Structure 1
């Protein structure tokens, strides 16, 4: 399971650096990205388009808080800081569930993302 955890760390680093090629190279053709409460992105082409839009904000800071790994799923919890415009950053808490094609591969077939903006306390 250690190698799966290391792989998911690399995926999160790729998200932070906007390395869309690395991410896209590690999904199945029938990928489902379920952004819970918002939308589902289906198929490699739509997934790659969504990743391309991610680049507009530029690199982001991702802090991983916890990993839970099982036979064909890995769960990541963390905080992401996204640049909205120069000098303005928003923070979000996230939980990503990666569902892998099988227990012997690093290609994931589903990504379920739960995300919520962290409001600043007054």
Structure 2
């Protein structure tokens, strides 16, 4: 029976949030490429395992998956997350993860590429970008 890609996308996100890095590694291709836009690129399963050792120093305090879209071999997950850093500071951010899978066979999709867009709110950042003007009317 083919894997439900929607369910797999949800499971991968909850595994990452919960620190179940073994689950992610089980579902990753050997030549996986994960780009966290503007931050880093991780290439290969061994490098991914090493990155997870660093990620283990933060604690997820909450996650909301707002939407999941899945097609034949691609998917997108959009949500928000709250984490405590190694120093104990809590941070919130929004994310959008774009997944592409290698279909080894109909029932075994392996994560080939992951691109993560992470937005951390900055007080006044939008005002600085757009200026002090009033936003246009919607409609």
TM-score, normalising length: structure 2: 0.78
Indicate the residue corresponding to 1:95 in structure 2: 96
Of 107, 113, 116, the residue aligned with 1:113 is 116
Distance (Å, rounded) in 1 between the aligned partners of 2:12 and 2:102: 16
- Of residues 10-19 and 95-104 in structure 1, the stretch that sits farther from structure 2 once superposed is 95-104
CA shift, 1:11, in A, is: 0.8
Q: Is the 8 A contact 1:12 1:62 kept in 2?
A: no
Q: Is the 8 A contact 2:69 2:75 kept in 1?
A: yes
Name the Cα RMSD after superposition: 1.9
Identify unmatched segments of 5+ residues in structure 2: 125-139
Change (3 A) 1:59 1:82: closer
For this pair of structures, how many residues does the alignment match?
Answer: 120
Q: Is the 8 A contact 1:7 1:106 kept in 2?
A: no
Change (3 A) 1:2 1:109: closer
Q: Is the 8 A contact 2:60 2:81 kept in 1?
A: no
Indicate the residue corresponding to 1:57 in structure 2: 58
**Segments of 4+ moved more than 3 angstroms:** none
Map 1:1-122 to 2 at 5 A.
3-84=4-85, 85-86=87-88, 88-102=89-103, 104=106, 105-119=108-122
Distance (Å, rounded) in 1 between the aligned partners of 2:121 and 2:10: 22
Higher Cα radius of gyration: 2
Identify unmatched segments of 5+ residues in structure 1: none
CA shift, 1:52, in A, is: 1.6
